[in-house]
Structure 1
Amino acid sequence: MHGALVDLAHVRIDGWAPLMLTIAAVVAIVSWIVCRRRRVVGVVAVAMTIAACVAQLNANVLGYPTAAAALGHPPATLPAAEKVIEADIPGVVSGFRARPASIYLPPAYSVDTHAPLPVLVLLTGQPGHVVDWLQGGHLARTMDTYAAAHDGLAPVVVVADGLGDTEANPMCMDSDLGNAFTYLSVDVPAWAKSHLQVSEDPHSWAIGGYSYGGTCALQAAVLAPTVYPTFLDISGEDEPRRGTRAESVTAAFGDDSEASEKRFDAVAPLEVMAKREFPSTAGAFLAGSEDGEFRPQVLRAYDRAVASGMDAHYRELPGGHSMDVWAPALEVEVDWLSSRMGLTD
C-alpha cells in the first residue's frame, strides 16, 4: 500500500493532467445534476472540482511536476553521481577575460523538477585554476557525500575563474588590472540564472574560496551584499594584495597617490566593514592552526565582520596554508552553507 502511494505521489500532475481533471470535474457536475443530485455523485463532483482547481493553480502559478515535489520530496529515483561540466562564462558587462568555469550539478539537478537549486560560487587561490577545487579540493566527492545524505539535493557549484590566467592577480577588484569584481558579481550570476536551473533569490546564493579566493569572497560579500549575502573565507588575506600596500595601490590604479589610495580603501573589505553595517550577511572564516601568515589576517577580518553586525563564525582546522585545510574546510561548512541558502532547515 505504501509503495502504491509513493508511486502515485510521483505521477506527473502537469502537462495534460489539469485539462483532464477539469473535464472530469465538468462530467461529474453534469452527472450530479442528471442523477437528481444524489449524495455520492455530489461528493465525487466536489472532489473532482477541488482537484481540478488545484491542478489549474499549479499549472498556471506553482509549476510543481508531481505531488511529491509540491510537498518538498525529491523524485523516487535519482542519479547516483554528480555531473561536472565546463562552460565559458563571458564577461558581457565587465569585459573580463576569464577561463572556462567548472560547474558541479548535483544528482537532483538532472531530474525534471520545478524547484530551482541554490548556487555556491567557488574561487581558487593564486596562482590557480578552476580544476584545483575538483582535484586537490575533492569538490565532487564532498558535494556527492552531502547529496547522498539529503535525497540527492545539494547546491549547484560554479567554480569561476577570478584570475584570468594562472599567474594573474587582479586582486578581485575593478581596476587597471581588469574588472574582476564586476565579472564575479554581475556576469557570473547573470549567466548562471539564464543558463542553469537555479534559484534567482539572492538568499540562495553564496560565494567562497581559499587564499586569494577567500579574500575575493569577502570582498564580494561586502561590496555586493545583495548578490552574495553568504560567504566562506578560507585562509584569506585581510585585504587584496600584490606585494606591499603601495605596490598594490599602484598596480591597481597607476600610482600610489592619495586619490588612488582612497579608491583602494573603497574596495578593501576591512575598510568597508569599518564604515558600514551588515546585519543581513553571514560568513564563515576558517584558517589552518599552523598558518602563521594568513591565520592572523583571517582573525582580523573575522573580528571586523562581527563588529559590523555580520552573523559570523570562526573555525580552525589542523594544518597550514594548503589544500589539507581548504578541502576539509568546505566539508565542515557545507551543512551551514546549505542551511543559509535554504536547501535545508
Structure 2
Amino acid sequence: MGLTSNKVLALAVMFAAALFVATVWLWPRLARQSWRAVSGRVGLLLATQLALFTSLGIAANQAFGFYASWADLFGQETDQGVVINHTGNSGTGGPLQVLSTSLVQGVKGSRPQTAGQVQKVDIVGRKTHIATPAYVYLPPEYFQPQYRTRTFPAAVVLTGYPGTAQALVDKLHYPRTAQELAKDGRMQPMILVMLRPTVAPPRDTECVDVPGGPQSETFFAKDLPEAVLAHYRVGKRPGSWGIVGDSTGGYCALKLAMHNPSVYAAAAGLSPYYKAPIDPTTGDLFQGDRNLQNRADLWWLLKHEPAPDTSLLVTSSRIGEHNYKDTLKFIEGVQATNLTRISSIILDSGGHNFNTWRREIPPTLQWLSGRLSDR
C-alpha cells in the first residue's frame, strides 16, 4: 500500500485507536511499582503517542502532498533523475510520451470535448537529458472541431519542495479551476503543464544549472517548452508561455521569467521566496561560482542586471506568511526598474498551505491568461 493510500491512513488511525483502548484497559494492571509495570506504562504511552503522530503525519501528507511514496519519504527515490542518452536516439519517438489519460475530475461531461483531459506524461530533455513525469491539462476546446487549427497559450505549473505533481491536479485543482474560469469567460482556454521543480529527486536543485550536476534551469527554459511544442498545439511566439508555482515553485517561476523573458512572458509566485537557500536538501548548488550564486538571488538581479521585459505576480498574506515584508520589498524593487511589470495578491490572513493557494489560484490564472497570446 502506498504512502498516499486511504487504506494506510485508515490502518494508522485504527492502530492508534486500538493502542489507546489497550492503554486504558491495561492501566490498572500496570499500576504497580515494579520495574515491569513501570516499563509497561512507559511503553504503552510511547507506542500510543507514536501511533497518533504517525496518523497525523499521514493525514497531513495526504492533505498537502509533501511526499508521493515511501521511497520519497525516506529519501530513497531513484527511479527518476538525470538520464544520459549515450546513443543520441532513445527510440521513444519524441521527448514527450503520453502514459495515460483521464477526464478532468469535478466537471460535467464524459468526453474530452466537454470535460477536457489530463494526460500523464514522461518528458526527457533533449539538451539536459533530465527525465521527469508531469501532467498536462488540455481544455475542451483543444478537442473541438472548430478549434482544430488553433494554437493555445501554455503555462508551466510547479509544486513546492518536495511536492507531488499529482497534488496540482487533485489537491490544488488547477485543471478544474482553469476549465471553470474559461467556461465563465474569465480566462482564455490554456494548456497547463504540471510538474515538480525537483527534477533530480531527492535533491532540491532550486531550478539552478548545478555545475557538474543537473541542469535544471536549462531544462525548464529550453527542454520543457521544446518537448511540449513538439507534441501539442501551443503558440510558438514568446508571449504564449507563462509559469506559476507555489513556495519553491514560486521562486523558480519568478527566476525563470527574469532570466528568460523571451520564453516566459509572465510568471506568478505564490508564497515565494527570493533567494535560493543552501541547506542539506540542496547541497552545494554553485560549486564556488559566484556569478551563478548571484543570479540565483532575485534581489541581486534587480540591482545589477538589466530589467527583464516580463510580467510578474507575487502573493503573500499580512498574517500567516513569513514572506510578507520581503514581498513588499520585492514589489518596490521591481517597480523601480520602470520596465518589469509587477502585480500582487495580498490576503489579510493565510498560511503557507494548500488552502491559501487555492484562494489565490483563480485570480492568478485570470491574471496569467490576460498576459499570454494564443498565437
Alpha-carbon distance in 1 for matches of 2:160, 2:370: 26
- 8 A Cα contact 1:279 1:311, kept in partner: no
CA–CA distance in 2 between the matches of 1:320 and 1:197? 37
Matched residue type, 1:336: W
**1:215 Cα shift?**
0.2
Question: Does 1:182 find its partner at 2:212?
Answer: no
CA distance in structure 1 between the aligned counterparts of 2:363 and 2:186, rounded to whole angstroms: 19
Tell me which of 315, 334, 342 is aligned to 1:305.
334
Which of 210, 229, 239 is 2:275 aligned to? Answer: 239
1-side partners of 2:157 and 2:127: how far apart? 20
Q: What is the match of residue 162 of structure 2?
A: 127
- Maintained 8 Å contact 1:126/1:167: no
Contact 1:124 1:210 in 2 (8 A): yes
**CA displacement, residues 171-204 of structure 1 (integer Å, 9 cap, x when unaligned):** 1110144111000000000011110011111101
Once the two structures are TM-superposed, the CA of residue 261 in structure 1 deviates from its matched residue by 2.9
Structure 2 residue 127 is the aligned partner of structure 1 residue 93 = yes
- Where does structure 1 lack aligned partners over 5 or more consecutive residues? 1-76
CA distance in 2, matches of 1:110, 1:324: 32
Aligned letter for 1:291?
G
* Aligned equivalents of 1:299, 1:78: Cα separation in 2: 42
Answer whether contact 1:120 1:205 (CA < 8 A) is retained. yes
Name the amino acid aligned to 1:123: L
Does structure 1 conserve the Cα–Cα contact (< 8 Å) formed by 2:209 and 2:218?
yes
Contact map agreement 1:277 1:310 (CA 8 A) in 2: no
Which residue of 186, 202, 206 maps to 1:171? 206
Of 81-90 and 281-290, the range deviating more from structure 2: 281-290
In structure 2, relative to structure 1, the CA distance for the partners of 1:122 and 1:78 (3 Å cut) is: closer
Question: Partners in 2 of 1:161 and 1:142 — Cα distance?
Answer: 19
TM-score with structure 1 length normalisation? Answer: 0.69
Question: Per the alignment, do residues 107 and 196 of structure 1 end up closer, same or farther by CA in structure 2, a change over 3 Å counting?
Answer: same
SS in structure 1 of the partner of residue 157 of structure 2: strand
The residue correspondences of 1:122-161 to structure 2 (distance < 5 A) are: 122-150=157-185, 153-161=188-196
Cα deviation, 1:250-283, whole Å, max 9, x if unaligned, reads: 711335xxxx333210332221222234363111
Looking at structure 2, the residues matched to 137 and 187 of structure 1 have their Cα atoms a distance apart, in angstroms, of: 26
Distance 1:225 1:80, change over 3 A: same
Query: Could you say what secondary structure the match of 1:312 adopts?
Result: strand
5+ residue gaps, structure 2, are 1-110
Amino acid at match of 2:260: A
Does the 8 Å contact 1:128/1:166 carry over to 2? Answer: no
Once the 2 structures are TM-superposed, how far is the Cα of residue 147 of structure 1 from its aligned partner? Answer: 2.1
**Structure 1 residue 79 displacement after superposition:** 2.4
Deviations 1:131-186 (A, max 9, x none): 12112211122111112113995110001332025642001110144111000000
Alignment-derived partner of residue 292 in structure 2: 263
Corresponding residue for residue 152 of structure 2: 117
Q: Distance in 1 between matches of 2:326 and 2:131?
A: 29
CA–CA separation in structure 2 for the residues paired with 1:164 and 1:279 = 26
Q: Distance in 2 between matches of 1:222 and 1:174?
A: 15
AA aligned opposite 2:149: H
- Secondary structure of the residue aligned to 1:287 is strand
Report the Cα distance in structure 1 between the residues aligned to 2:353 and 2:346, rounded to whole angstroms: 13
Deviation string 1:25-84 (CA, Å, 9 cap, x unpaired) is: xxxxxxxxxxxxxxxxxxxxxxxxxxxxxxxxxxxxxxxxxxxxxxxxxxxx98221210
Matched, 1:321 2:357: no
> TM-score, structure 2 length as denominator?
0.64
Q: How does 1:60-75 map to 2 (within 5 A)?
A: none
Name the CA distance, whole Å, in 2 between partners of 1:194 and 1:343. Answer: 16
Secondary structure, aligned partner of 1:171: coil
Structure 2: which amino acid aligns with 1:252?
L
**1:289 Cα offset (Å):** 3.0
User: How much identity, in percent, do the aligned residues show?
Assistant: 23
Deviations 1:295-340 (A, max 9, x none): 2333333222222221111211231111112122121122221111
Distance 1:78-1:91 versus aligned 2 partners, 3 A rule: closer
Contact 2:175 2:192 in 1 (8 A): no
Once the two structures are superposed, the pairs formed by residues 76-87 of structure 1 within 5 Å of their partners are 79-87=113-121
Deviation at 1:293, TM superposition (A): 2.0
Q: How many residues align?
A: 260
1:102 Cα offset (Å) = 0.4
Between Structure 1 and Structure 2, whose CA radius of gyration is higher?
A: 1
Provide the C-alpha distance between the structure 1 equivalents of 2:298 and 2:261, rounded to a whole number of angstroms: 12
Asked if the contact 1:106–1:153 (Cα under 8 Å) also holds between the matched residues in 2, the reply is no
**Pairwise mapping of residues 222-233 of structure 1 onto structure 2 (< 5 A)?**
222-233=258-269
What letter is aligned with 1:116?
T
- Cα distance in 2 between the residues matched to 1:279 and 1:94: 25
Measured on the aligned residues, the alpha-carbon RMSD in Å equals 2.5
1:108 lines up with 2:144 in the alignment = no
One-letter amino acid of the counterpart of residue 157, structure 2: L
Instruction: Tell whether 2:284 aligns with 1:251.
Output: yes
The one-letter amino acid of 2:277's match is: R
- Alpha carbons 2:137, 2:192 under 8 Å: kept: yes
